[in-house]
């Protein structure tokens, strides 16, 4: 068993305070209506909140995680919700065979995968969109996320690593969850586009004017 598999199985089984939200990351819910339809990939899916959300919107989803415990919970939640269309794949991301030009939407949330970005970008279909959210280093008091900076991104790490995509949105900010706990997050929406002329999504906040 790989170190990550054992470590994360133990965390899911023994750490009572470790609980992942049921709702998808806010950016996915916010952007869903603008995204290309088709196949989805959720990397390090955990209990599958993003994968289940994509499947409930008609996507055919591959959801990968190293932890058996996480995937058991994810599959049980999908069954409870009556969500079909997710293939749960137990694999270390290091061993996952990314298919090229395959996925219309790829989601990564709260998993440090900068080393895997070349594979992820190649796995995007033409016009496919990457939605990536991760913890940031911050001087503000933070309640959620890794206890050390090692697994947090510096300002613009994620943006810099994705500059070969069309950046549809990039934000760094503090967020408060439903229980009032704070986290510092970077969120990137990037599209695999080619050429200097391309289409763009409308403003999502409804603001108009030139
Ligand atoms: C903080 S959780 C985030 C889960 C989910 N993306 C979410 O936002 O709810 C990190 C997940 O990464 C998975 N993970 C850790 N190392 C991994 C690896 N090497 N390959 C695949 N998954 C891994 C863990 O099992 C865990 O489910």
Per-residue pLDDT tens over the stretch 36-80: 999 999 999 999 999 999 999 999 999 999 999 999 999 999 999
Residue nearest to atom 13 of ligand 1 (CA): 44
Q: What ranges in the chain are assigned the alpha helix state H?
A: 3-14, 26-31, 49-56, 68-81, 117-123, 157-161
Give pLDDT tens digits for 1-28. Answer: 679 999 999 999 999 888 899 999 999 9
Task: Please give the distance, rounded to the nearest whole angstrom, from the Cα atom of residue 9 to the centre of ligand 1.
Answer: 10
What are the residue boundaries of the structural domains of the chain, listed by start? 3-15+23-191
CA distance 97 to 115: 15
Ligand 1 atom with least separation from CA of 4? 16
CA distance 189 to 28: 9
Give pLDDT tens digits for 91-102. Answer: 999 999 999 999
Residue 71 CB less than 6 A away from ligand 1: no
Neighbours of 89 (CB within 10 A): 14
Residue 74 CB less than 6 A away from ligand 1: no
The HSE-up count of residue 185 (CA atoms within 13 Å, CB side) is 22
CATH architecture of the region 3-15+23-191: 3-Layer(aba) Sandwich (3.40)
pTM of model > 0.85: yes
Chain mean pLDDT for the chain: 95
Residue 93 CB less than 6 A away from ligand 1: yes
CA distance 102 to 105: 9
């Amino acid at each position: 068993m790989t170190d990550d598999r054992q470590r994360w199985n133990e965390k899911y089984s023994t750490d009572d305070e470790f609980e992942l939200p049921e709702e998808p990351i806010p950016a996915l819910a916010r952007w869903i209506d603008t995204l290309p339809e088709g196949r989805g990939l959720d990397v390090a899916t955990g209990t599958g909140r993003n994968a289940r959300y994509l499947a409930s919107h008609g996507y055919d989803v591959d959801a990968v995680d190293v932890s058996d415990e996480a995937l058991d919970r994810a599959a049980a939640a999908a069954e409870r919700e009556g969500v079909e269309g997710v293939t749960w794949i137990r694999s270390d991301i290091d061993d996952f065979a990314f298919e090229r030009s395959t996925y219309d939407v790829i989601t990564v949330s709260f998993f440090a995968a900068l080393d895997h970005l070349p594979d992820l970008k190649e796995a995007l279909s033409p016009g496919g969109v990457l939605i990536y959210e991760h913890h940031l280093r911050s001087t503000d008091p933070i309640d959620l996320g890794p206890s050390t900076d090692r697994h947090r991104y510096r300002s613009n790490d994620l943006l810099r690593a994705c500059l070969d995509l069309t950046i549809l949105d990039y934000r760094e900010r503090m967020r408060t969850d439903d229980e009032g706990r704070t986290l510092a997050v970077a969120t990137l929406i990037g599209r695999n586009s080619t050429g200097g002329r391309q289409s763009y999504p409308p403003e999502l906040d409804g603001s108009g004017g030139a």
